[in-house]
């Protein structure tokens, strides 16, 4: 059974590919830009917004690890069925569980992909992580340069989950038939505020890491060049709702991987070089 792993430039896809390779399970790593320097060697072309790239990528494939891209999902589903794909594991988001998910720029695309897959004659497994621990990477420039990290809601909670745990969870549901065909909400082991995450980074880096509180509008203005307005608004609303409200932690990572979820401190230690001055 050949497995197509999309999003080949991402850490989760690469981690999954490494696990498959270690166990000699046939797979095909796919990337939107396979020829770029940061693309994995040997990646095939599969742009999830370009249906012309689907047939070659899916030929001979029986299972897919899929990133959510609503723009081309209907065509992807049709081609997957035509190619004989039997199982799709979607990297979705726990944001789809929000009652207002359809109105959220962050959740709507994930929800649209979920619905398209669930309506298709395919076995579908939904992996719904909350907050990626790697989101903290956006603070690296400030920390390296000694500048305070600027946050609109330092007291907002999230449930940072390590990308290695997500890769292992995907491997589990792709290779164990008894685990597929369900939805899993994946979290880290603790709910942490952004301020607490910065404290963890400070301990791991063994130096002070300061933060500065911005107004929501000031933060939105500061990221306007690379975060579209609707996404910025959705992020601000999500963070505001999480101030003083811990995220409910699940045991899904341990259920799928056989070990407790890695902590944010584990992630910080694994990525400490990215924050070094």
Per-residue model confidence as pLDDT tens digits over 62-85: 999 999 999 999 999 999 999 999
Determine contact, residues 38/62, Cβ cutoff 8 Å: no
Other residues' Cβ atoms within 10 Å of the Cβ of residue 255: 13
Cross-strand partners of 125:
89
For residue 76, the Cα-to-chain-centroid distance in whole angstroms is: 20
Is residue 97 within 8 A of residue 111, CB to CB? The reply is no
Phi, psi at residue 193, to the nearest 5°?
-75, 165
- The whole-chain average pLDDT of the chain stands at 94
Would you list the domain boundaries of the chain?
2-129
CA 207 to chain centre: 29
What pLDDT was estimated at residue 37? 47
Per-residue pLDDT reduced to its tens digit, 177-200:
999 999 999 999 999 999 999 999
Hey, what CATH topology would domain 2-129 get?
Answer: Rossmann fold (3.40.50)
The answer on pLDDT for 114 being more than 90 is: yes
Render pLDDT for 115-151 as a digit per residue (tens, 0 to 9).
999 999 999 999 999 999 999 999 999 999 999 999 9
Give the pLDDT score at 106: 84
Alpha carbon distances (Å) from 172 to 2, 163, 184: 15, 14, 12
């Amino acid at each position: 059974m050949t497995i197509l792993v999309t999003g080949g430039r991402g850490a989760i896809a690469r981690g999954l590919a490494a696990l498959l390779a270690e166990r000699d399970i046939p797979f095909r790593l796919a990337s939107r830009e396979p020829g770029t320097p940061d693309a994995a060697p040997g990646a095939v072309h599969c742009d999830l917004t370009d249906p012309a790239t689907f047939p070659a990528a899916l030929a001979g494939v029986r299972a897919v690890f899929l990133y959510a891209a609503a723009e081309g999902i209907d065509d992807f589903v049709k081609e997957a069925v035509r190619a004989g794909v039997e199982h799709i594991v979607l990297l979705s988001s726990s944001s789809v569980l929000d009652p207002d998910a359809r109105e959220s720029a962050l959740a709507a695309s994930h929800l649209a992909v979920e619905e398209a897959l669930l309506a298709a004659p395919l076995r579908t497994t939904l992996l719904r992580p909350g907050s990626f621990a790697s989101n903290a990477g956006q603070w690296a420039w400030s920390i390296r340069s000694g500048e305070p990290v600027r946050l609109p809601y330092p007291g907002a909670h999230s449930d940072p989950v390590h990308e290695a745990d997500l890769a292992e969870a995907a491997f589990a549901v792709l290779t164990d038939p008894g685990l597929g065909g369900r939805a899993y909400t994946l979290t880290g082991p603790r709910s942490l505020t952004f301020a607490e995450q910065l404290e963890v980074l400070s301990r791991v880096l063994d130096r002070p890491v300061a933060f500065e509180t911005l107004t929501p509008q000031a933060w939105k203005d500061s990221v306007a060049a690379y975060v579209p307005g609707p996404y910025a608004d959705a992020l601000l609303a999500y963070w505001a709702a999480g101030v003083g409200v811990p995220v409910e932690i699940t045991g899904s990572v341990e259920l799928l991987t056989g070990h407790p979820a890695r902590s944010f401190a584990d992630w910080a230690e694994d990525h400490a070089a990215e924050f070094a001055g």
